[in-house]
């Protein structure tokens, strides 16, 4: 029977979704909850919430783009340095290859021949140093664009969830109660799905996500209430 190994390969995508959804579920909720304490009608809460979602989407997406772009710049900077060192100080670079091989448990009598084999091909030699000495692999050229889009859209989806009761209910207190329930349930489901994708125990992931997200939202809500109260004072 053929043996097939199944490995999760979408870690970057899931990480971006987690970043966007986590902030989207908590920040707009906190804003809407804070405004609920000072407003009786929900129309202004919806307007402010939508404005925050739009701003947050742009800011988070831009942050994701810059982070991925910086990773790519760092990779090529290190690549240029390794290429220069292989050209200028090849013996030192060969010794570094030897150190890597010895750390893997390669016998001393095999190290020299393995180093010679690796160093015959300049490109493979540099690739070896990048991957196994520095732990770097070339980032996908579309990573920055994809990351910004994924984070931004995830933030929008996450932000609409806690804001949705304010769209359909006209009393702020009722909308707040519904938003709390919906947000906690959404965090739990989100954590469960995240656990399934990443190989972590989904129930543990669900509880952790709900608790952490709930605490973050409650803290933000408390601060919003404090500032709202002090402004009226």
Angle at 201 between CA 200 and CA 206, to 5 degrees: 100
Quote the percentage of the chain above a pLDDT of 90. Answer: 20
Q: Do 160 and 218 belong to one domain?
A: yes
Closest CA to 13 of 187, 150, 156, 195: 150
Contacts of 154 (CB under 8 A, 6+ apart): 16, 17, 19, 20, 21, 24
Q: Do 44 and 117 belong to one domain?
A: no
pTM score: 0.76
In a domain, residue 147? The reply is yes
Find where tokens 């997200």 sit: 213
Question: Does residue 191 contact residue 210 with C-beta atoms inside 8 Å?
Answer: yes
Which parts of the chain have pLDDT scores under 50?
1-9
- List, for residues 47-80, the tens digit of each pLDDT value: 988 999 999 999 999 999 999 999 999 989 998 9
Task: State the total domains in the chain.
Answer: 2
Residues forming beta bridges with residue 41, ordered by sequence position: 171
Q: What is the pLDDT of residue 61?
A: 92
Q: Do 64 and 150 belong to one domain?
A: yes
Q: Do 223 and 155 belong to one domain?
A: yes
Q: HSE, CB side, 13 Å, CA atoms: give it for residue 132.
A: 17
In a domain, residue 189? The reply is yes
Query: Which structural domain range is residue 119 located in?
Result: 77-133
């Amino acid at each position: 029977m053929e043996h097939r190994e199944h490995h999760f390969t979408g870690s970057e995508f899931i990480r971006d979704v987690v970043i966007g959804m986590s902030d989207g579920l908590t920040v707009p909720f906190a804003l809407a909850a804070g405004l609920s304490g000072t407003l009786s009608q929900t129309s202004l809460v919806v307007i402010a919430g939508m404005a925050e979602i739009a701003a947050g989407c742009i800011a988070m997406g831009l942050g994701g783009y810059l982070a991925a772009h910086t990773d790519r710049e760092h990779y090529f900077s290190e690549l240029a340095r390794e290429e220069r060192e292989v050209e200028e100080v090849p013996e030192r670079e060969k010794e570094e290859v030897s150190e890597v091989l010895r750390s893997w448990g390669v016998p001393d009598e095999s190290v020299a021949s393995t180093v010679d084999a690796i160093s015959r091909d300049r490109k493979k030699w540099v690739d070896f140093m990048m991957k196994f000495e520095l732990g770097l692999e070339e980032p996908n050229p579309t990573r920055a664009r994809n990351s910004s889009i994924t984070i931004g859209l995830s933030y929008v989806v996450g932000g609409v969830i806690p804001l949705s009761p304010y769209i359909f209910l006209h009393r702020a207190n009722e909308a707040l109660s519904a938003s709390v329930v919906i947000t906690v349930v959404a965090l739990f489901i989100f954590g469960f799905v995240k656990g399934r994708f990443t190989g972590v125990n989904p129930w543990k992931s669900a509880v952790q996500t709900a608790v952490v997200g709930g605490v973050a939202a409650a803290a933000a809500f408390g601060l919003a209430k404090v500032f709202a109260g002090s402004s009226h004072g």
